[in-house]
């Protein structure tokens, strides 16, 4: 949480997020100075509990009351853009304020690069996957799965007859298990088999044994 030590470098996904934010900021012509001001805010309060959530509240407050401190109507437009961009790309990091700080810090630098180095018209937005999606992709690429293959899973959650299994520490799949559900407990390690695969070779469905 907030006591977490700030990471020294960005993960591959975080780089993409920084990149995506920077591109959006340039495309929307958001004033990077306003981003810098919100960064000074985050830097000042990053060590507090729930600093990440407070940061999102802060962005909303800027949109709502920014006219009070801003110098022009434009300022509020910048805040709107910052708020929507951060909501789009940074929600996954809401409990990791130091990482938000890192990502936005790099985004600020990248904006400067795009501003000076690339004509605005040539900058395209990019889509980024979440940390979770990236982890799943990594696990999928590192393993070959076959239908019928037996693997170990952890029972992550049980809701009535639905059981959520977690395999390889990353991939979570939920399956109706009317016969098994009442016998399992959360956290328990069980065996499952792969019932179906997607076209790309990733697992579509698993079933308890």
Q: Which residues bind another protein (CB under 8 A)?
A: 37, 40-41, 44-45, 54, 57-58, 61-62, 64-66, 68-69, 71
CB of 195 to another protein, least distance (A): 50
Place of tokens 């951060």: 86
Three-class secondary structure of residue 27 per DSSP = helix
Residue number with CB closer to another protein (15 or 45): 45
196 vs 70, 146, 155, 202, CA distance in Å? 56, 8, 19, 9
| Among the listed residues 93, 119, 80, the one whose alpha carbon sits nearest the alpha carbon of residue 13 | 93
CB of 55 to another protein, least distance (A): 10
| Among the listed residues 102, 98, 64, 106, the one whose alpha carbon sits nearest the alpha carbon of residue 83 | 64
Compute the distance between CA of residue 25 and CA of residue 192 in angstroms, rounded to an integer. Answer: 46
CB of 68 to another protein, least distance (A): 6
Residue number with CB closer to another protein (67 or 131): 67
CA 190 to chain CA centroid, Å, is: 29
Structure tokens at 204: 């579509």
CB of 38 to another protein, least distance (A): 9
Place of tokens 């469905």: 205
Residue number with CB closer to another protein (44 or 152): 44
Residue number with CB closer to another protein (42 or 192): 42
CB 119 within 8 A of CB 1: no
Residue number with CB closer to another protein (69 or 118): 69
CB of 106 to another protein, least distance (A): 21
């Amino acid at each position: 949480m907030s006591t977490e030590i700030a990471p020294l470098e960005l993960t591959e996904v975080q780089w993409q997020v920084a990149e995506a934010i920077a591109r959006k900021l340039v495309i929307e012509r958001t004033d990077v100075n306003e981003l810098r001001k919100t960064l000074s805010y985050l830097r000042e309060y990053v060590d507090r509990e729930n600093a990440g959530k407070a940061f999102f509240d802060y962005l909303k407050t800027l949109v709502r009351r920014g006219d009070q401190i801003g110098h022009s109507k434009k300022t509020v437009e910048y805040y709107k853009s910052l708020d929507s961009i951060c909501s789009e790309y940074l929600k996954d990091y809401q409990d990791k304020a130091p990482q938000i700080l890192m990502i936005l810090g790099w985004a600020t630098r990248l904006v400067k690069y795009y501003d000076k180095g690339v004509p605005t018209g040539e900058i395209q937005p990019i889509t980024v996957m979440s940390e979770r999606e990236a982890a799943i992709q990594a696990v999928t690429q590192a393993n070959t799965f076959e239908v019928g293959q037996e693997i170990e899973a952890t029972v992550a959650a049980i809701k009535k007859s639905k059981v959520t299994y977690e395999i390889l520490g990353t991939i979570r799949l939920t399956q109706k298990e009317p016969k098994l559900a009442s016998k399992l407990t959360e956290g328990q390690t069980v065996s499952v088999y792969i019932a179906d695969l997607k076209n790309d070779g990733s697992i579509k469905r698993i079933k308890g044994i």
